[in-house]
Amino acid sequence: MMIRSEKKKGNIRMAKKAAYCGMLIALAMIFSYVEALIPINFGVPGIKLGLANLVVLYGLYMMNPAEVLMVSVSRILLMGFMFGNGMSIIYSLAGGLLSFAVMLLLIRTKAFSEIGISIAGGVSHNIGQILTAAVVLRSPQLFYYLPVLIVSGTITGALMGIISQRILIILKKAK
């Protein structure tokens, strides 16, 4: 009897975790979609705010890293299949995976604030995409674009970090 009860509790926990991850994937997808609708033109192609990164940052502070990685990769794949193409998926995965790894590493050092970690995530996302594009297109000239993307990643990363910091303060109090 006791074994069934524990198994049932485990199943309920797994179901809650799956529902929670599904909700975060949906939220990240909504942020990505809204971002695509916002007519922001900084005069430089390819620059985005990175609204979906808010979900990843939240997850890195509040969840298991494997679950956050699953949320991030799922969002990238779903958005790519719905609104992009094979190449956009490859570029987004390269940037997203490098960004995730860098942010996770920096969080574990406990030496950086949410803003610093978000900046590192934004910059590393752009570096991952440029590296991938340079390899795929066999064009090292793309690295000339990197300084512009580092500046944009720093600015948008700082903005998302400030927002993330505020959200985390509110959610940690509510927990």
Residue at 78 is within a domain: yes
Give the residue from 128, 137, 109 showing the smallest Cα distance to 50.
Answer: 128
Residue at 10 is within a domain: no
Alpha-carbon distance 75 to 82, whole Å?
Answer: 10
Q: Evaluate if pTM is beyond 0.75.
A: yes
pLDDT score, position 127: 96
Alpha-carbon distance 164 to 122, whole Å?
Answer: 13
Residue at 43 is within a domain: no
| Residues 69-93: tens digit of each pLDDT | 999 999 999 999 999 999 999 999 9
Residue 104 class from Cβ within 10 Å (0-12 exposed, 13-18 middle, 19+ buried)? middle
How large is the average pLDDT for residues 98-117? 97
Structure-block tokens of residue 131: 């590296």
In the block, which residue shows the tokens 């990240």?
28
pLDDT score, position 162: 97
How large is the average pLDDT for residues 140-166? 94
| Domain around 81 | 25-37+48-174
pLDDT score, position 47: 81
How many domains, in total, are found in the chain? Answer: 1
Residue-averaged pLDDT of the chain:
92
pLDDT score, position 44: 67
CA angle (89 as vertex; 83, 93 as ends), nearest 5 = 135
Query: Has residue 9 got a pLDDT over 70?
Result: yes
Asked if residue 103 lies in contact with residue 56, where contact means CB atoms within 8 angstroms, the answer is: yes
Residue at 1 is within a domain: no
